Amino acid sequence: MIAIAFKDSPQQKKPQREFPKQDVPLAKQISARIQATGPITVASYMKEILTNPSGGYYMSKDVFGREGDFITSPEVGQIFGEMVAIWILTEWRKIGSPNPLQLVELGPGRGTLAQDILRVLTQLGLSSPDLSVHLVEISPFMCQAQANRLCFTHDEVTDPQSNHHYAGETLSGVKIFWYRSLEDVPRNFSIFYAHEFFDALPVHKLERKDGIWREVLVDLDPGKDDTFRFVMSRAETPASKVFSQLSGQFADQRDHIEFSLDALNVINQMADRLEENGGFSLIMDYGHNGDKSDTFRAFRQHQLHNPLENPGQADLTADVDFKQLKFAAEKSHKVITFGPIFQADFLQRLGSDVRLKVLLENAKGDQKTDLETGYNLLTHPDKMGHRFKFFAIFPRVLESILQKFPLSGFTQ
């Protein structure tokens, strides 16, 4: 059996600056690091680009929506969040409606999905103190944006002994807490959900040359100031060593693969909590089931962008490999997984077509056009409908219940 250190993921610890917080362009900071220590992994590069406190992509601006660099399913229309809320409520009631209920969202974006879910749940009778919301977010800017959207009152928590750093309350009295790490969230019965969270976790890029896995690194481009290029590692790296041991689980016929240790760590923590404390998880992201390669890329203003240019000004992402997530969840935990399935199938099995019809009956003029356009974007196979996948994790102790009452959204 291969031992993997899943605990204490660098991505999930409270953020630590790798560079002093100062007014120095991110490209120069990364360039100085490479000059001092040599080429860095794509995972290290990606982490700096996205979360560096002094210039990281997510740390100081709103990158979501039509004015940002990408748009997410919850931003397209309310139907998406409503169907997710119905799924959460259905599965929670199926197992006896355990109280109190913690909703835990990883990477909440603008807070749109949480807002839609809370609206549905409170309309259907869930309220404080039975319900609380726990958001894992490392960006101070996005924490503030989420609080402004979700809360009637909110404020920073200054107590150094507190696990959460921000807290608020909705108009209906539901308490919301913010954390920098999943490890800080109270270990109680929880329903976890994550939308476009795993695609932003740093990935290692590996290529197989003559039967040997080598890691792709980021180096300086000779003769050009603060510009970068990809190079192949000359020797084994920690990531290539781990992956070589696991390649039989993931690689199949692929010679180029992305491998996220952070994603495996998060899934491991989540599965551990489900096994010990109860609950279930829903992961929504674009990705594949272990059959794609070389998906690392950048987006700027809704267009593909060179990931090595303009560091901090474009979103870096890689398709989620759900085969890797399934392996991490099931390897050493008593959990069962479902999916991945297409987003369109999930939404339509939960009644999104019926919900659209009701909304159209009460809409006028441009509202109808917006509803139809948005729904087409969410469900059309050539758009988000097949691009995005849904993946669920449940503790194995619930297997008999799920056999008797099949998982909604995942079965016909």
210-226 per-position pLDDT tens digit = 888 999 999 999 878 78
Any residues with CB less than 8 A from the CB of 210 and at least 6 apart, and which? none
Confidence of residue 384 (pLDDT cuts 50, 70, 90): very high
Mean pLDDT value across residues 332-345: 95
Residue reference for tokens 């913010």: 178
- Is residue 22 scored above 50 in pLDDT? no
Cβ atoms 315, 57 nearer than 8 A: yes
* In contact, 132 and 176? CB cutoff 8 Å: yes
The span from the CA of 191 to the CA of 306, in Å, is: 37
Least confident range of 6-10, 243-247, 332-336? 6-10
Helix or strand run (H / E) with residue 404? helix 399-404
Q: To the nearest whole percent, how much of the chain has pLDDT over 70?
A: 90
pLDDT at 228: 95
Distances in Å between the alpha carbon of 62 and those of 56, 91, 110, 139, 356?
12, 33, 8, 10, 29
Question: What residues contact 357, with CB distance under 8 A and at least 6 apart?
Answer: none
Residue 77 has pLDDT above 90, yes or no: no
What φ, ψ does residue 129 adopt, rounded to 5°? Answer: -90, 5
Could you give the C-alpha distances from 336 to 2, 95, 344, in angstroms and in order?
21, 15, 23
Give the CA distances from residue 140 to residues 61, 165, 169, in Å, rounded to whole numbers and listed in that order: 10, 10, 18
Q: Above 80 in pLDDT, residue 63? A: no
Please say whether the beta carbons of 270 and 194 come within 8 A. no
For 346-377, the pLDDT digits (tens) are 999 999 999 999 999 998 888 899 999 999 99
Question: Which stretches within 321-389 are classed as H helix?
Answer: 322-331, 343-349, 352-361, 366-379, 384-387
pLDDT at 128 over 80: no
Q: How far apart are CA 163 and CA 221, in angstroms?
A: 43
On average, the pLDDT of the chain sits at 88
Which pLDDT belongs to residue 25?
85
Tell me the one-letter amino acid at 3. A
Neighbouring CB atoms inside 10 A of 38's CB total: 10
Burial class (CB in 10 A: 0-12, 13-18, 19+), 36: exposed
42-51 vs 26-37: helix crossing angle, rounded to 10:
150
SS3 377: helix
Amino acid at 161: Q
pLDDT value, residue 371: 93
Mean pLDDT of 372-399: 97
pLDDT score for 249? 74
Q: Tell whether the model's pLDDT for residue 51 goes beyond 50.
A: yes
- The two structure tokens encoding residue 310: 């303009």
> Is residue 9 predicted with pLDDT exceeding 80?
no
Q: What is the mean pLDDT of residues 104-132?
A: 92
Using the predicted structure, report yes or no on whether residue 272 has a pLDDT greater than 70: yes
- Which pair of tokens denotes residue 182? 């999943």
Structure-derived torsion over alpha carbons of residues 374, 380, 383, 387, reported in degrees to the nearest 10: 120
- Kindly tell me the number of DSSP H helices and DSSP E strands found in the chain: 14, 18
Per-residue confidence (pLDDT) for residue 313, from 0 to 100: 87
pLDDT in tens, 164-190: 999 999 999 999 999 999 999 999 999
Query: Is the model's pLDDT at 66 over the cut of 80?
Result: no
Contact indicator for 149, 110 with CB cutoff of 8 Å? yes
CA distances (Å), origin 331, targets 226, 277, 317: 42, 18, 26
List, in order of start, the domains of the chain with CATH numbers: 26-202+259-404 (3.40.50.12710)
Q: Coil, strand, or helix at residue 79?
A: helix
Would the pLDDT of 126 be above 90?
Answer: no
